[in-house]
Amino acid sequence: MIVDGADSRPEEIPVFLDAAGESLFGIVTIPAPRRSDALSIVLPAGATVSIDRNRVGVRLCRRLADLGVPSIRFDYHGVGESDGDAQRFRLDEPFDADLLGVVAWARSEGIERFVLIGSCFGARTAMASADRISGIEAIVLLAAPVRDYEMGDRVATSLAAGSDLSLHAHRALGRGAGVLRDPVKRRVYARYVRTALLGLTRRAAHPDRRRHPDVSPHFLASLAELGRRSIPTLFVYGTEDALWHEFLDARSGPLASTLADAPSIEIATLEGSVHGFKTIGIQDAAIDLIADWLGRIPTDVTPSFG
């Protein structure tokens, strides 16, 4: 049974829970005093342990504890201390069984209300699972991709979809043309160019297709479900994220009608790159934004879990 933390300090408890026959490892952070009866579930980006880069997952959970909000962060199956084998991470194959296992464990502890906070792959997993989770109070989606691809293939598939070649060429080349002397980087760049030319050829043959014709049907369906249920939802992107520019393209096309009909869905941007949490500054800014936004979501409070 989960109870409030001791004294005024949050308590962190390791747990193992079952998810589709696999044992997942998680850390529960219990605040004292507790001011919310909703459990925040933090989903990492992908093949990343729950602490995430620079322990941003830990810092987020402890910040939530300062607000009186309990949370759990966990390792996906095949990652970190969890059992199982994860061969690949595809956005059209989210680890919904893992999240549903965490929710089932929480319900066994008497918890019936949830906040989902996911980054990239974790964001898509939260979206894909939401229609099977009752009691969701809010969802925070950090750098959520609108397209489907496998980890490591984002840039190449973005080029094939017709994204700005110059943007990706700059990133592939780095800040100096001297990298062309590196045979490995030269081969990678050549692959980008071939893929981009293929995408340009396809667009020329089908000029009536939208810039991003492959916006994920899973993303579209999940977004519509969040809007239909009026779940408070916050999308967070960095202004330097390629994922943000893809979202902007989709917002003016396939996502337009859904977003227009869903006042419960908000969009926020931070200066820099949210995808991958590459700097301490962007990590702190994201944590502050999440804490501030969740602090404005009304919740009912009960004395303790269970």
Query: Do both 94 and 230 map to the same domain?
Result: yes
Written as tens digits, the pLDDT of the chain (306 aa) is 455 555 567 899 999 999 999 999 999 999 988 888 899 999 999 888 899 999 999 999 999 999 999 999 999 999 999 999 987 889 999 999 999 999 999 999 999 999 999 999 999 999 999 999 999 999 999 999 999 987 655 544 454 455 554 455 555 555 455 555 666 556 555 555 555 555 555 555 555 444 544 799 999 999 999 999 999 999 999 999 999 999 999 999 999 999 999 999 999 999 999 999 999 999 999 999 999 999 887 654 433 333
What pLDDT does 15 receive? Answer: 97
pLDDT for 32: 83
CB distance 162 to 212 below 8 Å? yes
Domain contains 303:
no
Q: Are residues 179 and 97 in the same domain?
A: no
Q: Are 112 and 258 in a shared domain?
A: yes
Strand ranges of the sheet holding 265-270, from the earlier edge strand across to the other edge? 11-19, 22-30, 71-74, 38-43, 113-119, 136-142, 233-238, 265-270
Measured over the CA atoms of residue 192, residue 195, residue 198 and residue 203, the dihedral's sign is negative
For 93-127, give one letter per residue: b (16+ CB within 10 A) or e.
ebbbbbbbbbbebbeeeebebbbbbbbbbbbbbbb
**281 and 180: one domain?**
no
Q: Do residue 172 and residue 128 come from a single domain? A: no
Which of 218, 222, 221, 212 minimizes the C-alpha distance to 244? 212
CA atoms within 13 A on the CB side of 154: 21
Say if 259 falls within a structural domain. Answer: yes
pTM: 0.80
Amino acid in position 58: V
Furthest-apart CA atoms within the chain: distance in Å: 67
Inside any domain, residue 1: no
User: Hunting for tokens 């999440």 — which residue is that?
Assistant: 290
State the pLDDT at residue 36: 86
Helix axes 56-66, 280-295, angle to 10 degrees: 30
User: Does residue 23 lie in a domain region?
Assistant: yes
Q: Are 224 and 107 found together in one domain? A: yes
pLDDT for residue 30: 95
| 197 and 274 together in one domain | no
Residues 128 and 185 in one domain: no
Find, among 240, 273, 266, the residue nearest to 251 by Cα. Answer: 266
Q: What is the pLDDT of residue 278?
A: 92
Residue 237's domain comprises 11-148+215-295
Q: Residue 46 has what pLDDT?
A: 83
Q: What is the pLDDT of residue 7?
A: 58
Instruction: Specify the CATH number for the domain of residue 89.
Output: 3.40.50.1820
Tell me the DSSP string of 99-121. HHHHHHHHHHTT--EEEEEEETH
Cross-strand pairs, 13: 28
273 lies in the same domain as 135 = yes
Domain-located, residue 301:
no
Q: Identify the pLDDT of residue 214.
A: 78
Look at residue 236 and give its three-state secondary structure: strand
From 163, 182, 205, the end of a domain falls on: 205
Q: Do residues 105 and 232 both lie within one domain? A: yes
Please list the alpha-helical segments (H only) found in the chain: 56-66, 96-108, 121-129, 154-161, 165-173, 183-205, 217-228, 242-251, 256-260, 280-295
State the amino acid at position 102 in one-letter form. V
Boundary-marking domain end, from 205, 225, 243? 205
The whole-number pLDDT of residue 189 equals: 58
Q: How many domains does the chain have?
A: 2
* Whether 201 and 223 share a structural domain: no
